A and B are shown apart, each in its own frame.
Chain A
Amino acid sequence: MAAVIHTQGLVKRYGKVRALDGLDLDVEAGQIHGFLGPNGAGKTTTIRVLLGLARATSGEATVFGADPWRDAVAIHRRVAYIPGDVSIWPNLSGGEAIDLLARLRGAKRHDRGYTAEKERLMEAFQFDPRKKGRAYSKGNRQKVALIAALAVPAELYLFDEPTSGLDPLMEVMFRREIARVKAAGATVLLSSHILSEVERLCDRVSIIRAGRIVESGTLADLRHLTRTEVSFEGTDASAAAVIAGAHDVVAEDGRVSFTLDSDQVAAALPELALLQVVGLRVNPPSLEELFLRHYGDDLAALEGNGR
């Protein structure tokens, strides 16, 4: 499949800060690609470079095979973007802002299709278009950008933390829209620091840390790298030691817990049955765990400071 986004050794410096430090990212056509990292990891900077709003210090970046700095306008014709921190014009109503942005992206003034699509989205996201921009909350500003982005079809959607500020009901709506654009064959790059969101929506994930991609692959690939967590009631850790492939066995708070390589879970079940364990829990590997593998030392440092 063709790469829609390709970066290699991408570096972006702001003064002394290396916001991007050799970023290698590949997103292929039709993927919903999760772009995961905590605040300050460089997600927004990456997207700005991909849109030609920021200029890379060094390295290579292409979108649809074109250089985003030089061919920004050509790329923008095929892209829809939701900024991480949406702001709208204080003296334009929400409806006016949506129409303006959609028209700049190519919607025709009296296009019935566009109007119908906009109405549908405003209904779905329960958006009141008549208020003036300054009266909108963060969530509502987010909706302006969402509706303007989704009402005009695009080949590539760049979403920078699109659900921050949306309530859970709206998040469900957002997921439906993602499913819709995926079905239409579009590519999506979805930046987020919310693991569950990425886990639900994306078929590939790249984890960014301090301006570099530290892990990238399908969810299944990544799960493979992680262990399943198993625990049962008990106080005697040696009970679990007999199970083949068990790691990190501990007894704590009245439970014995250990981890298994994910492909050995089935094999361990008979042994657990023999032990006649009570209160068995099997937690499948989560992105969270994977994420913490890369950020665990940061977490430890933070906890250290907290003490």
Chain B
Amino acid sequence: MTQLRVLLAQRLRRDWLQLTLWIAGTVGLAFAGYGGVADTYGTEQDRIGTLAAVMANPVILLFRGLPSGADESALLVFLLLPWLAVMGSFMSTFLAVRHTRGDEEIGRLELVDATPAGRWAPTVATLVHGTLAALALGILVAASFLAGGAATEGALLVGASVAAVTLVFLAVGMLSAQLMRTSRGANSLAVWILIATFVLRGIGNAMGTPSDDLTRMESSWLTWASPFGWGENTRAFDENQWWPLLPCLAAFVVLMAAAFALQAVRDVGGGIVPERAGRAAARGALSSTTVLVSRLSAPSTVGWMVGGLLTGALSTTLGKVLDQVAGENPTIADVLRSLAASGDLEQAVVVVFFTMVGLFAACAAVQTVARARQEEAHGTAEAVLATPVQRVRWLANFLVVGFIAILLTCAAAVGGAALGATGDDAGPELLRAAVVAAAGQVVAASVFLVLTALVFAVAPHLTIPLGWTLVSVAIVLGLFGPLFDFPDALVNLSPFAVTPQIDGDGVDLRGLWWLVLAVAAGGAASLVLMRRRELAPEG
């Protein structure tokens, strides 16, 4: 018992900042959403109109929740619940893998296993730790709804739903950590499950049966195959059903049991899914740090490119559908225009989606620089920098590869947009908007590249947390700011919000030159500072 307490305390100490940020971000989104919905969809008529429009549009249902009536709080749940649950789920999968397979892979777990704490204690401690985090998240989400003035039972149910889905993904993370030999493998397996079940639920809702007044949807069976679907079917502030949380708890228990069962039958350090053998000798190309960095970054970059491609394709296909929706609902049209600042509606949709692309590109960039920090903390940077490789050049490699990752992500999105626009009369116009938006997003994403590099040069230990925090803040400001009516000055702090856009026949450059200046100055500063910095291994 004392061992468990020690291990739990160690986990809380290691995670508290990260978890606080993560939970605060999620709860902040819920809280900001409350005011936003009241402003944008003030009257019941607005809300009924919006829901009716949404029903006709499968793609919106893919990204939002389950329509459950025109109540103000219910509408907010429709808009936000899936995203709150996704944030919680990411939090708990990463948490689960970090403290189990992550520790095991680097051999830290072996130390603990050999103590009286034994084989089970670390896993149990992680389970308790993750459960506490999920409960804290659920309680705070409920509190944020209550603080906004929502009905008590509904607020509690939203919190419970978020916590329940978060718990399911805690178990998913624990199970993948048992299956895969590496934390990377385990994280990707869990994230793929997360994305797949999220999409499944959206498709299930889109295939559902709308009510006669077009304000509610009955999910089809597909939705019931997904934890996110269970969470949504509680219909908080509408029917307030608690029973759909039962399958969540059942899944949590079953997956957890499976994880413990697998742990019982495998060796420490072993996995269930076997590893492939590698090459005996390196290819000729693997002879410079540039190639090394590209090789290390390639898999994640491909992931972001796929995201870019899909988003790009959606951006041009969706326009048509939305045009129709907006014809019926001026509020949605307003929201889209406020995000896009100008241009016609179809182009506005392209711009909105390319903000998402810019976000992916920024993530690709931050991940590349974060890898430099991982190399340094892990010790492989030391091996490389003890050979005739200059520190500054080494960092420059990461900057160049990160920039290429940005270019590739945005290019994939333009490719997707071109695919989506084929056969559309307005195709060439849309594509032009896409190219302008993509070019702007390249610059915006580069700001995050150099900012993260700057953090790396000045405060290496903060690279990873701070880099991702910067992106998250910019996302919230840029994507949700206009929706929830944040002040302009605040929204425009986000590089994504000030990129060039099509303006009639010309292009409105907006903040382009500021962004370019920031990129150039930040890039140069990070390299200069790197020259003066010594290696900072972990510890």
Contacts and interface: CB of A to CB of B under 8 A. Distances in A.
Interface of A: 48, 51, 53-55, 72-74, 76-77, 79, 81, 83, 85-96, 98-101, 103-106, 109-110, 115, 129-132, 134-135, 138, 145
A99 B535 contact: no
| Most A CB within 10 A of own CB, among B105, B279, B282, B387 | B387
Interface stretch (B88-96, B251-259, B331-339, B374-382): B374-382
Interface stretch (B212-220, B286-294, B425-433): B286-294
25 contacts: A53-B386, A54-B535, A55-B534, A81-B386, A85-B379, A86-B383, A87-B380, A88-B383, A89-B380, A92-B278, A92-B295, A93-B279, A94-B278, A100-B282, A100-B286, A101-B384, A103-B286, A103-B287, A109-B287, A115-B281, A129-B280, A131-B277, A131-B278, A132-B276, A145-B383
B184 interface: yes
Contacts of B390: 72-73
Given A79-B386, A135-B275, A95 B282 contact: yes
A77 B296 contact: no
Contacts of A98: 282
B382 A53 contact: yes
A73 B535 contact: no
Contact of B277 (A83, A130, A134): A130
Interface in B10-62: none
A96 B380 CA distance: 14
Nearest to A12: B534
Contacts of B296: 89, 91
B379 A95 contact: no
Contacts of B378: 87
A55 B391 CA distance: 13
Given A89-B296, A101-B384, A104-B388, 10 more contacts: A48-B535, A53-B382, A76-B389, A92-B282, A99-B281, A105-B388, A110-B284, A115-B281, A129-B281, A134-B182
Nearest to A99: B282
B151 interface: no
Contacts of B391: 72
Contacts of A135: 181, 275
B15 to A, nearest CB: 22
Nearest to B533: A55
B138 to A, nearest CB: 35
A93 B182 contact: no
Interface in B342-390: 378-380, 382-390
Nearest to B387: A104
Contacts of B387: 76, 101, 104-105
Contacts of A99: 281-282, 286-287
Interface string B73-104: 00000000000000000000000000000000
Contacts of A104: 287-289, 384, 387-389
Contact of A130 (B181, B184, B278, B535): B278
A149 B74 CA distance: 65
Contacts of B281: 95-96, 99, 115, 129
A123 to B, nearest CB: 13
Nearest to A85: B379
A73 B388 contact: yes
Contact of B535 (A53, A87, A134): A53
Contact of B388 (A76, A94, A115, A129): A76
Given A54-B535, A79-B386, A95 B287 contact: no
B388 A96 contact: no
- Top 6 nearest A-B pairs (CB, nearest first) are A93-B278, A99-B282, A87-B379, A103-B287, A104-B387, A96-B282
A90 B184 contact: yes
Contacts of A54: 534-535
Nearest to B389: A104
Interface in B268-314: 275-282, 284, 286-289, 292, 295-296
Contact of A77 (B184, B384, B388): B388
A135 B276 CA distance: 11
A79 B385 CA distance: 12
A279 to B, nearest CB: 41
Contacts of B389: 73, 76, 104
Residue from B105, B389, B534 with most neighbouring chain A CB atoms (10 Å): B534
